[in-house]
Amino acid sequence: MLGPDLIPFVKSIGYLGILISIILENGVIIFFFMPSDSLLFVTGFLASQGILDLWLVMLLCFVGSIIGYCIGYWLGEKAGPAIRAGKAGKHIDAEMLDKAKEFYNNYGSWALVIARFFPIRAFVSLLAGASEMSYRTFMIYNVLGGAIWTVSLTLLGYYCGEFLAPEDLDKFFIFVFVCFVITLATMLIFLHVRKTKLEKKAKDAALAARNSAE
Protein backbone atom coordinates (compact mmCIF):
# COMPACT_ATOMS: atom_id res chain seq x y z
CA MET A 1 0.00 0.00 0.00
CA LEU A 2 1.85 3.07 -1.29
CA GLY A 3 1.21 6.49 -2.77
CA PRO A 4 -2.35 7.09 -3.91
CA ASP A 5 -3.61 3.87 -2.31
CA LEU A 6 -2.44 5.00 1.12
CA ILE A 7 -4.17 8.38 0.96
CA PRO A 8 -7.78 7.10 1.36
CA PHE A 9 -6.57 4.66 4.03
CA VAL A 10 -5.08 7.46 6.15
CA LYS A 11 -8.20 9.56 5.65
CA SER A 12 -10.39 6.69 6.82
CA ILE A 13 -8.46 5.83 10.00
CA GLY A 14 -8.13 9.41 11.21
CA TYR A 15 -5.84 10.69 13.96
CA LEU A 16 -6.51 7.82 16.35
CA GLY A 17 -5.84 5.25 13.66
CA ILE A 18 -2.57 6.95 12.74
CA LEU A 19 -1.45 6.85 16.38
CA ILE A 20 -2.36 3.16 16.80
CA SER A 21 -0.68 2.22 13.50
CA ILE A 22 2.58 3.88 14.53
CA ILE A 23 2.52 2.22 17.97
CA LEU A 24 1.89 -1.26 16.57
CA GLU A 25 4.47 -1.09 13.79
CA ASN A 26 7.17 0.25 16.12
CA GLY A 27 6.54 -2.09 19.02
CA VAL A 28 5.06 -5.40 17.88
CA ILE A 29 7.05 -7.58 15.47
CA ILE A 30 4.02 -9.16 13.80
CA PHE A 31 3.01 -5.71 12.48
CA PHE A 32 6.39 -5.05 10.82
CA PHE A 33 4.69 -5.08 7.39
CA MET A 34 2.76 -1.88 8.11
CA PRO A 35 4.07 0.97 5.91
CA SER A 36 4.85 3.47 8.66
CA ASP A 37 7.46 5.38 6.65
CA SER A 38 4.99 5.89 3.83
CA LEU A 39 2.25 6.67 6.35
CA LEU A 40 4.30 9.49 7.88
CA PHE A 41 5.00 10.93 4.46
CA VAL A 42 1.34 10.74 3.45
CA THR A 43 0.16 12.36 6.69
CA GLY A 44 2.49 15.26 5.93
CA PHE A 45 1.23 15.34 2.35
CA LEU A 46 -2.40 15.47 3.53
CA ALA A 47 -1.50 18.19 6.01
CA SER A 48 -0.19 20.28 3.11
CA GLN A 49 -3.63 19.88 1.49
CA GLY A 50 -5.37 21.12 4.64
CA ILE A 51 -6.92 17.70 5.35
CA LEU A 52 -4.89 17.02 8.51
CA ASP A 53 -3.28 19.33 11.05
CA LEU A 54 0.51 19.21 10.67
CA TRP A 55 1.46 19.87 14.29
CA LEU A 56 -1.10 17.41 15.67
CA VAL A 57 0.05 14.73 13.21
CA MET A 58 3.71 15.19 14.14
CA LEU A 59 2.89 15.08 17.86
CA LEU A 60 0.78 11.92 17.55
CA CYS A 61 3.37 10.16 15.37
CA PHE A 62 6.18 11.15 17.74
CA VAL A 63 4.27 9.94 20.81
CA GLY A 64 3.28 6.75 18.99
CA SER A 65 6.88 6.03 18.00
CA ILE A 66 8.05 6.44 21.62
CA ILE A 67 5.27 4.25 23.04
CA GLY A 68 5.86 1.62 20.35
CA TYR A 69 9.57 1.33 21.11
CA CYS A 70 8.81 1.14 24.84
CA ILE A 71 6.40 -1.74 24.19
CA GLY A 72 9.07 -3.50 22.13
CA TYR A 73 11.64 -3.00 24.89
CA TRP A 74 9.21 -4.31 27.53
CA LEU A 75 8.35 -7.37 25.42
CA GLY A 76 12.05 -8.05 24.91
CA GLU A 77 12.77 -7.64 28.61
CA LYS A 78 10.06 -10.17 29.46
CA ALA A 79 11.17 -12.56 26.71
CA GLY A 80 14.88 -12.34 27.58
CA PRO A 81 14.92 -15.18 30.17
CA ALA A 82 12.92 -17.46 27.87
CA ILE A 83 15.30 -16.74 25.00
CA ARG A 84 18.35 -17.50 27.12
CA ALA A 85 16.70 -20.70 28.30
CA GLY A 86 16.22 -21.78 24.67
CA LYS A 87 12.44 -21.55 24.81
CA ALA A 88 11.96 -18.93 22.09
CA GLY A 89 12.76 -21.03 19.05
CA LYS A 90 15.98 -21.84 17.23
CA HIS A 91 16.25 -18.49 15.42
CA ILE A 92 16.57 -16.36 18.55
CA ASP A 93 18.90 -17.70 21.22
CA ALA A 94 21.29 -16.59 23.95
CA GLU A 95 24.16 -16.21 21.49
CA MET A 96 22.12 -13.76 19.43
CA LEU A 97 21.34 -11.74 22.56
CA ASP A 98 25.01 -11.61 23.49
CA LYS A 99 25.88 -10.40 19.99
CA ALA A 100 23.06 -7.86 20.16
CA LYS A 101 24.35 -6.62 23.50
CA GLU A 102 27.87 -6.30 22.11
CA PHE A 103 26.52 -4.46 19.07
CA TYR A 104 24.57 -2.04 21.26
CA ASN A 105 27.63 -1.48 23.46
CA ASN A 106 29.69 -0.57 20.38
CA TYR A 107 27.19 1.59 18.51
CA GLY A 108 23.82 0.32 19.58
CA SER A 109 22.65 3.71 20.78
CA TRP A 110 22.66 4.95 17.20
CA ALA A 111 21.28 1.62 15.98
CA LEU A 112 18.02 2.60 17.68
CA VAL A 113 17.98 5.79 15.61
CA ILE A 114 19.06 4.21 12.32
CA ALA A 115 16.58 1.33 12.65
CA ARG A 116 13.70 3.81 12.63
CA PHE A 117 14.08 4.10 8.86
CA PHE A 118 13.80 0.35 8.21
CA PRO A 119 11.02 -2.22 8.73
CA ILE A 120 13.04 -3.77 11.59
CA ARG A 121 12.08 -1.15 14.14
CA ALA A 122 10.14 -3.47 16.42
CA PHE A 123 12.84 -6.15 16.27
CA VAL A 124 15.55 -3.68 17.30
CA SER A 125 13.58 -2.40 20.29
CA LEU A 126 12.77 -6.00 21.27
CA LEU A 127 16.47 -6.97 21.20
CA ALA A 128 17.35 -3.85 23.20
CA GLY A 129 15.11 -5.07 26.01
CA ALA A 130 16.09 -8.73 25.72
CA SER A 131 19.82 -7.91 25.76
CA GLU A 132 19.36 -5.80 28.93
CA MET A 133 20.36 -2.52 27.37
CA SER A 134 20.31 0.32 29.91
CA TYR A 135 16.77 1.72 30.01
CA ARG A 136 18.08 5.25 30.43
CA THR A 137 20.26 4.95 27.32
CA PHE A 138 17.39 3.29 25.49
CA MET A 139 15.00 6.13 26.28
CA ILE A 140 17.47 8.85 25.27
CA TYR A 141 17.92 7.37 21.81
CA ASN A 142 14.29 6.29 21.64
CA VAL A 143 13.23 9.94 21.96
CA LEU A 144 16.01 11.17 19.66
CA GLY A 145 15.27 8.58 16.98
CA GLY A 146 11.53 9.08 17.25
CA ALA A 147 11.90 12.83 16.80
CA ILE A 148 14.23 12.54 13.79
CA TRP A 149 12.09 9.88 12.11
CA THR A 150 8.66 11.46 12.56
CA VAL A 151 9.61 15.08 11.96
CA SER A 152 11.81 14.42 8.91
CA LEU A 153 9.35 12.19 7.04
CA THR A 154 6.26 14.20 7.96
CA LEU A 155 7.82 17.51 6.95
CA LEU A 156 9.16 15.92 3.76
CA GLY A 157 5.62 14.92 2.84
CA TYR A 158 4.30 18.34 3.81
CA TYR A 159 6.71 20.34 1.65
CA CYS A 160 6.50 17.87 -1.24
CA GLY A 161 2.75 18.37 -1.23
CA GLU A 162 3.36 21.76 -2.82
CA PHE A 163 4.59 20.27 -6.09
CA LEU A 164 3.66 16.55 -6.08
CA ALA A 165 0.37 15.13 -7.33
CA PRO A 166 -1.04 12.01 -5.60
CA GLU A 167 -0.29 9.84 -8.65
CA ASP A 168 3.39 10.82 -8.44
CA LEU A 169 3.89 9.58 -4.88
CA ASP A 170 4.97 6.03 -5.76
CA LYS A 171 7.90 7.20 -7.86
CA PHE A 172 8.90 9.71 -5.23
CA PHE A 173 8.82 7.03 -2.49
CA ILE A 174 11.35 5.01 -4.48
CA PHE A 175 13.61 8.04 -4.84
CA VAL A 176 13.41 8.84 -1.12
CA PHE A 177 14.08 5.23 -0.17
CA VAL A 178 17.25 5.15 -2.28
CA CYS A 179 18.43 8.39 -0.69
CA PHE A 180 17.82 7.01 2.80
CA VAL A 181 19.70 3.80 2.03
CA ILE A 182 22.70 5.76 0.76
CA THR A 183 22.66 8.08 3.77
CA LEU A 184 22.30 5.31 6.32
CA ALA A 185 24.95 3.18 4.61
CA THR A 186 27.30 6.15 4.89
CA MET A 187 26.50 6.48 8.59
CA LEU A 188 27.15 2.78 9.20
CA ILE A 189 30.47 2.95 7.37
CA PHE A 190 31.45 5.98 9.43
CA LEU A 191 30.56 4.21 12.69
CA HIS A 192 32.46 1.10 11.64
CA VAL A 193 35.59 3.11 10.74
CA ARG A 194 35.33 5.02 14.01
CA LYS A 195 35.00 1.78 15.99
CA THR A 196 38.01 0.28 14.18
CA LYS A 197 40.13 3.34 14.95
CA LEU A 198 39.15 3.29 18.62
CA GLU A 199 39.95 -0.41 18.89
CA LYS A 200 43.35 0.12 17.23
CA LYS A 201 44.08 3.03 19.56
CA ALA A 202 43.18 0.92 22.59
CA LYS A 203 45.38 -1.95 21.39
CA ASP A 204 48.32 0.40 20.73
CA ALA A 205 47.92 1.91 24.20
CA ALA A 206 47.81 -1.55 25.79
CA LEU A 207 50.90 -2.64 23.83
CA ALA A 208 52.79 0.51 24.81
CA ALA A 209 51.87 -0.01 28.47
CA ARG A 210 53.03 -3.63 28.30
CA ASN A 211 56.34 -2.65 26.68
CA SER A 212 57.01 0.06 29.26
CA ALA A 213 56.28 -2.39 32.08
CA GLU A 214 58.81 -4.83 30.66
In a domain, 176, yes or no: no
What is the rounded CA–CA span in Å between residue 115 and residue 47? 26
Q: Would you say residue 81 lies in a domain?
A: yes
pLDDT tens digits, residue range 61-89? 999 999 999 998 998 888 767 666 655 55
The reply to whether 174 falls in a domain is no
57 belongs to a structural domain: yes
In a domain, 82, yes or no: yes
Full DSSP string of 71-128: HHHHHHHHHHHHHHTT-S-SSS-HHHHHHHHHHIIIIIHHHHHHGGGTTTHHHHHHHH
Q: What is the pLDDT of residues 92-148, one digit of tens each?
A: 556 656 666 666 666 667 778 877 877 777 778 888 888 778 888 889 999 999 999
60 — pLDDT class (breaks 50, 70, 90)? very high
Residue 16 included in any domain: yes
Count structural domains, the chain: 1
Residue 188 lies in a domain: no
Check residue 94 and give its pLDDT: 60
Instruction: Note down the domain range covering 136.
Output: 3-167
pTM of the full structure: 0.70
Closest C-alpha to 65, from 50, 45, 43, 83: 43
Rounded Cα gap, residues 95 and 91, in angstroms: 10
Q: Classify residue 182: in a domain, yes or no.
A: no
